[in-house]
Structure 1
């Protein structure tokens, strides 16, 4: 019985506890009815509204954030972590040889224009124009230079090197020559270089003969980059003594497109050896026969020739030469006594006569009346010439001194 009462007491206690729990909860439980329905509806509306707003925000904010992400600049790449002290690379035991750089500015190095004589003579080059009196074999296109100045072809006389265009590399300076018919030559100074492919090209012409320059004796290269040329006013060759030529040094520089003279004289003054001899006039010659002449067919006549020194320098020996072109001529009469020397059959052809005269002072004029004998019956008439020349003997050899105006040294006259 005691156990049953104990169990009964326990059941009563549990019932009391449940009763108290229910009583406490009932204050918070809403019974079914309109109030419960309204409360449930309000709760559901709040849930639906909150869900719609959230969905709208997702639809609007999502694309905007996407576009912003696309247009946003990329953040800088983070640099390497910097420690408190830099790491020092070890010094190599042998310094490596650096590769050659084109230049301090990064531009390509200029081609090496230092061309050897062998390479230049074996190349085909284009030359600047020669002077207008050059012979037809003095060509300029596709030229292979010769090394013999006596050949009828452009030839190399002198070759030297120097940086003429201030590009840091040497070019090749040359003196070229080409012979002409009278035994002299035409010359020019030309600079050659190489292009980027290593081909030999012509940089430009420094100078050439002409315009009062008849000879280029030599060339030099100056440390300043200028090319110097020694020039003369008469050919320094052939049968002309070197002492007769006036010589000058003239310097030329490259200006980026051509060579221009930068120092030295620009022209020659009057050569002290030159003068201006003129044949002022020569009269017609009429040959007639002399009945008492023992030589059958001999005809006689005379010519009056007026000559003058129109220059400012006294002449050397003056020679007057008469050229009839045909026939057999001889001297006659006293007029030839003014001559210091006359021709003979051994010195000139039979149809020519000459008379050497004492020097003429500047402005001096002389008139000569020279008797002539002509033993040839034919031709009966024709045209003859009277010509003056200025002559000087040097070391027992006779030379013709150039005339300052050789266009008036000669006059024609008729005979018959």
Structure 2
């Protein structure tokens, strides 16, 4: 019974074998080579996957740390130059960090140590290695004003420079002030570019306000009287002056250069001509009495010069003048009552504090002399005046008597 079924199955197998025989490739050298190539491609693909994982891992870690995105890997390797060993000069060019550039911010200026332009004579304010402060501290501090602070491209380099009022806290007010512009040196450090203006009690000229203009000019408003609470609003004169950075310094390019000289407030005229002017000051002196020579051969003596403001207004520009004699020599270290003093030519000038109407001031002068001699007089005068000249009609003259024991 099984033979017909076996015969049928055998026939089916024969038909299937005849149908598929052409598609079967016998094992041989070509088959072996194909197998080897396939295995190599699988190994290369595996290595590529491993390399991709190795590269992706540090990139992912770099991004996870919040750093800048890593650059895309180069498509083809480029030759690189190994850095020179530590301690040996490199043969290639080395990059150096660029100097700070751009506008100097206020915090950077306060953190710097700067050299400043000179203050008025006798101000006793530091100019070398100064650290600016924002608010008053110890005596002698230099305050960087917060209100009087502006920016302007004063030197035309395309970067605005800070321009500010500096105030030296030295002695009784009014304090010495300067308008100073700052810039960067070649290393990028903030430095003082130059002084635009400074208040000077000897001229007298006092700073009222300033502003830095977009075209690089700095406008300064100046008064001939120091601002005080009891100053009449119309008692002072004001001028606007313009300054520009020219040839390495600030020079005035607009506005008046000085205040006009006023006649004495006590002067009067009549049809017959001017009448004598009443003195603006009452001046008295004590004699200088030279004693015997000391161990160094010097004779020494002192005098006091007392003067009173007889005028109706407060005087901020008083000066005392006497000759700078080669024989009767001043001991300037012992000078009393003169916060500011100077020499010019053959004269000595003392600038006391301002005087209110009826107020009296006393100046102590110390002299020394090597030789004896006859009694004589030393002329002295008290007047209103600045560094250059006295105000006409305000001078009161007196004499200091000199005697020898």
**TM-score normalised to the size of structure 2?**
0.43
Greater gyration radius: 1
